[in-house]
Amino acid sequence: AQKITQTQPGMFVQEKEAVTLDCTYDTSDQSYGLFWYKQPSSGEMIFLIYQGSYDEQNATEGRYSLNFQKARKSANLVISASQLGDSAMYFCAMREGRAAGNKLTFGGGTRVLVKP
Amino acid sequence: GAVVSQHPSRVICKSGTSVKIECRSLDFQATTMFWYRQFPKQSLMLMATSNEGSKATYEQGVEKDKFLINHASLTLSTLTVTSAHPEDSSFYICSAQDRGRLTYEQYFGPGTRLTVT
């Protein structure tokens, strides 16, 4: 079974609007971390936001917020007030417990294209 | 912020030759570095975990003898693709884990695009 699932291969969003990128995960660990990364066409991976499994509050970083629903095992990324520079691939990733060596498992990614 | 560099950014080599890619953490110490491979329009696939001063741990299906990893210091890990073939052409990305951060956040290098002709 896929550990990280991103069901939206691609999305269009109008500039200045908000967009939600879906991510569901599967783990039996109690301690884990969820990450979102942005990959523009240049290829670099840019860290956006982190949510720990024990964090009670949803993480926020500027225009990025993470809608963490632990019981549903989902960690959706919300980008508010989209900008043209937000056009990129977005990857959800999970770090499982220490026994897994802090490895990151990535989802398949969602390509976002912001329209002017 | 934490910066990871990779060198070279692009390399073209002939089939049968070896290529070395360097990954450096510039402003933090990284006891653990990771090497990923990314094919066009696909996600990142972890190849191996590199720990300073010890042997790398390879993921299932990754050939250890083909992808040699050395992590000689707290700021440098190298990936050598030996006897490269066209099917090894890919985007290789390293990441480094900041030992000083509790979130185990990984900082990624800019990637190396390898083309084997």
Sort A20 into a burial class: Cβ within 10 Å, 0-12 / 13-18 / 19+. Answer: middle
* Nearest neighbour of B105 by CB, restricted to A46, A50, A105: A50
Give the pLDDT confidence of A71-113 residue by residue, as tens digits.
Answer: 999 999 999 999 999 999 999 999 887 655 678 899 999 999 9
Amino acid at B85: H
* Nearest neighbour of A33 by CB, restricted to B104, B110, B111: B104
CA angle A87, A3, B32 (to 5 degrees): 80
Report which secondary-structure segment, H or E, holds A12. Answer: strand A10-14
- The minimum CA-CA distance between B57 and chain A, rounded to whole Å, is 10
> Does residue B104 carry a pLDDT above 80?
no
> Taking CB atoms and an 8 Å cutoff, what residues of chain A touch B32?
101-102
Mutate to test the interface with B, among A47, A61, A98 (most CBs of B within 10 A): A47
Residues 50-79 of A with CB under 8 A from B: 50, 52
> Does residue B92 carry a pLDDT above 70?
yes
Amino acid at B95: S
Q: State how beta strands A74-79 and A64-69 pair.
A: antiparallel
Q: What is the pLDDT of residue B49?
A: 92
A94 to each of A24, A101, B4, B104, how far by Cα in Å? 10, 12, 21, 11
Q: What is the pLDDT of residue B103?
A: 64
Residues 6+ apart with CB under 8 A from A53: A29, A30, A31, A32, A33, A34, A70
User: How many interface pairs between A and B have CB atoms less than 8 angstroms apart?
Assistant: 53
Mean pLDDT, residues B26-32 taken together? 87
Q: What is the pLDDT of residue A98?
A: 62
Q: What is the pLDDT of residue B91?
A: 97
| Confidence category of residue B98, pLDDT binned at 50, 70, 90 | confident
* Nearest neighbour of B49 by CB, restricted to A43, A101, A108: A101
CB B54 within 8 Å of CB B2 = no
Give the pLDDT confidence of A28-71 residue by residue, as tens digits.
Answer: 888 899 999 999 999 999 999 999 999 989 999 999 999 999 99
Q: Which residue has the tokens 């294209």?
A: A113
